[in-house]
Amino acid sequence: MALVGQRLAWPLLVVLAAMLLSACGSPSSEAAERAEELLARMTLEEKIGQMTLIERTAVVGCDEAEWVAACDLEKIAEFGVGALLSGGGSGPSQNDVAGWRSMVEEFQDAALSSRLGIPLLYGVDAVHGHNNVKGTVIFPHNIGLGAAGDADLVERIGRATAVEVAATGIRWTYAPVLAVVQDVRWGRTYESFGEDPDLVSDLGAALVRGLQAGDTTDDTYVLATPKHFVGDGGTTWGTGGRGYPIDQGVTEISEDELRAVHLSPYPASLAAGARTVMATYSSWDNGKVHGDRYLLTDVLRGELDFAGLVVSDWAGVDQVVPGDLEASVAQSVNAGIDLVMVPHDLVGFQTALRDVVLQGLVPEERIDEAVLRILTVKYEIGLFDRPLPGVGLAEQVGGDEHRALGAEAAAKSVVLLETGPGLLPLPKSERLLVGGRAADDIGIQSGGWTIGWQGRPGDITDGTTIVEALEAELGDGVEYEPSGSFETPAKTGLVVLGEGPYAEGLGDSATLPLPNNELQVLERMREHVDRLVVVLLVGRPVVLDAVADLADVIVVAWLPGTEGQGVVDVLTGARDVTGVLPVTWPASPDVAPRFEKEACEDALYPVGYGLGFDGVPLEEVGPCGSP
């Protein structure tokens, strides 16, 4: 849908969303009644405890926390902590399903020992599979799923992810990202499904449906969290927060554009039943969205009729009035934040919230409203009846069915940018020279948010690399040398080039380069082969000047996850190539922002572009890339 059309359709979207939410997004009457009964028995301190979301290391790791008083599990009950999370890379020393489940059980037991026995909500960033746990299936990042454009596929991925998350005793994930990326220099580009609001809307809602399939009390029902509300994909270069160039920056656009582009994906995910929404770090007209009552209350709750809970991002409340925790807490809670991701300074946060309530800066009615939402969600998903769900699911984690789904997703994500007659599929009866360290590296293949927050190269979890899949398919004809140095030439060469893992603002890039050492591999390979195929493992468009000069075929596989077999299935012709670009590939980083583009020459490849094996575009695209 064109931008103008989206603006005209917005009032209708609001009406339709409200109608759907009245049926799909409202709390059950039984859950709400039980929550109200419990709320009536709570002290102010217990209510504040329920609004507290802390990182697990704030409980068990004194050396990683800013406060020393709560370094044992008993403090969970003492402070009435309502929710815990594992940040990126934060998990038990035994990083497998059993280790995670045992850890969550210990935390739940501690919470249940409190006066009222209220169970914890435990959250995790399972953003492309249960990506914190070794041995799980890591699915393609969202940018690849946007290239696939298959809502049914995304829903099935959500279902598989929910099973693997629930197996570890967790019922809450901070996904999907509904950012509509407008500047691919952003380090979170790969977390977005693309630049088209309709695509983001369709795939985001599909992931919510998959994660939350079935009855809310089912063992494999995992709470989805559409994020980051709202505008995080449209921030302006040079306005970033925490020293980043663009991440956590300012969305400098009109309200019409904010609604048409960045708000429009939310109604579908809320209608799909999302019960939690996460606020964005970024700022808009009224400053930090974490403190913006108009967006969090008037729009999200008033216009979209969202009845669930709003959670802050990691220390996002602290940024509202920098240096003044009480003022930050008061403004954020009054704006509509219900559950605060502290994440470490538990005592400081609870003291600040209690003080501003006692001073009359935050009405206790607002506290009751927030806690009622939190308790209602806990009752809805059956935590009070079964605090540790997911019994008997461990055998499905990393199983053949989920890995086959990962391979299917990786294959459907592949986009063919350049080719010629007879260049693909790869011949099966000839020698194939393979270069590039990314060809045999699960860490590079999976990208950021894999085992650790930033991810890292290496053999970090189970899976199949591209080289391993090629060797299984083509046998002894595959010769692999990461450096690209071969003594004997061959007709066909394949180079896999990767950006290297990164996440969030640390991935912001003004130049969008491929590493120089990777390009040197390409140069060496060119000298040894007649036909050179380049596969890109990237989280966004990158500068292709050197690649275009040397390659005969250019394939972008994005960040396909642990199942490299899917990429090889396309290269060898076992599966057709079906993916198209979910974002505009800029001609240079200087013209990267999508919303600044007025000339078609700014696009090297337009959104919607992708070739078949015959070199013919798979879809008809308009003059500037709009299908």
Q: Interior CA angle at 400 toward 399 and 405, to 5°? A: 105
Q: Which entry of 150, 313, 508, 569 is annotated as an active-site residue?
A: 313
Query: Is the pLDDT assigned to residue 543 strictly greater than 70?
Result: yes
Report CA torsion sign: 602, 608, 611, 617.
negative
Lookup result for tokens 């505009």: 584
What is the rounded distance in angstroms from the CA atom of residue 315 to the CA atom of residue 320? 10
pLDDT reading at 597 higher than 90: no
Q: Show the DSSP H helices in 506-595 as ranges.
A: 516-526, 545-550, 565-571
Q: Give the mean model confidence (pLDDT) for residues 54-73.
A: 61
Question: Tell me, what DSSP letter sits at residue 422?
Answer: T
Confidence of residue 600 (pLDDT cuts 50, 70, 90): low
pLDDT tens digits, residue range 118-156?
Answer: 999 999 999 999 999 999 999 999 999 999 999 999 999
Beta-bridged to residue 71, according to DSSP, are none
Flag whether pLDDT at 13 surpasses 80: no
3-state SS of 100-151? HHHHHHHHHHHHHCCCCCCCCEEEECCCCCCCCCCCCCCCCCHHHHHHHCCH
Query: What is the distance between the alpha carbons of residues 323 and 185, in angstroms, rounded to a whole number?
Result: 30
> With bands split at pLDDT 50, 70 and 90, how would you rate the model's confidence at 74?
confident
- Which structure tokens are listed for 606? 């337009």
CATH hierarchy code of domain 3-389: 3.20.20.300
CA atoms within 13 A on the CB side of 486: 29
Residues making up the chain, counted from first to last: 627
Whether 72 is a known active-site residue: answer no
The first and second tokens of residue 507, run together, are: 């991935």
Residue with tokens 């946060």: 349
pLDDT band for position 3 (cuts 50, 70, 90): very low
CA-to-CA dists, residue 589 to 511, 518, 539, angstroms: 6, 19, 15
Q: What is the pLDDT of residue 369?
A: 98
Q: Does residue 590 have a pLDDT over 90? A: no
Over residues 400-404, the mean pLDDT reads 98
Strand duo 52-55 + 172-173: pairing: unpaired
Query: Closest Cα to residue 236, out of 595, 588, 584, 585?
Result: 595
Q: Is the pLDDT of residue 66 over 70?
A: no
State yes or no: pLDDT of 63 exceeds 50. Answer: no
User: What are the respective helix, strand and coil percentages of the chain, to the nearest 5?
Assistant: 40, 15, 45
Q: Indicate where the chain has its CATH 3.20.20.300 domain(s).
A: 3-389
pLDDT of residue 54 exceeding 80, the answer is yes
Q: For 574-584, how does the pLDDT look when each residue is reduced to its tens digit (9 = 90+)? A: 999 999 999 99
Strand order in the sheet with 52-55: 172-173, 121-124, 83-86, 52-55, 340-341
pLDDT digits (tens, 9 = 90+) for 324-337: 999 999 999 999 99
pLDDT number for residue 589: 92
pLDDT tens per residue across span 464-512: 999 999 999 999 999 999 999 999 999 999 999 999 999 999 999 999 9
313 is catalytic: yes
pLDDT in the model for residue 596: 60
Q: For residue 26, what pLDDT is reported?
A: 59
Average confidence (pLDDT) over 181-188: 98
- Specify the pLDDT at position 623: 54
3-state secondary structure 534-555: EEEECCCCCCCHHHHHHCCEEE
* Residue recorded with tokens 């969550």: 104
Residue 463 Ramachandran class (φ > 0 left, ψ -120 to 50 alpha, else beta): left
Peptide bond into 228 cis (omega under 30): yes
Is residue 290 within 8 Å of residue 297, measured between CB atoms? no
Residue 403: the pLDDT is 98
Residue 424: per-residue pLDDT? 97
Q: How confident is the model at residue 59 (pLDDT cuts 50, 70, 90)?
A: confident
What is the residue-averaged pLDDT of the chain?
92
Percentage of the chain beyond pLDDT 90 is: 86
The distance of Cα 205 from the centroid of its chain, to the nearest Å, equals 14
Assess contact for 379 and 34: CB atoms under 8 A. yes
Question: What pLDDT is recorded for position 217?
Answer: 83
Q: How confident is the model at residue 602 (pLDDT cuts 50, 70, 90)?
A: confident
Q: How confident is the model at residue 177 (pLDDT cuts 50, 70, 90)?
A: very high
Q: What is the DSSP string of 378-421?
A: HHHTTTTT-SS--TT-GGGTT-HHHHHHHHHHHHHH-EEEE--T
**If pLDDT is split at 50, 70 and 90, which confidence band does 27 have?**
low
Q: Domain 415-578: which topology?
A: Rossmann fold (3.40.50)
Is pLDDT above 50 for 62?
A: no
Cα-based distances in Å from 564 to 440, 460, 481, 547, 567: 9, 15, 18, 22, 5
Q: What is the pLDDT of residues 504-542, one digit of tens each?
A: 999 999 999 999 888 999 999 999 999 999 999 999 999
The residues of the chain that CATH labels 3.40.50.1700 are: 415-578
Catalytic residue selected from 46, 504, 508, 518:
504
Q: What is the pLDDT of residues 84-116, one digit of tens each?
A: 999 999 999 999 999 999 999 999 999 999 999
Q: At what angle do helices 197-211 and 151-167 cross, to 10 degrees?
A: 40
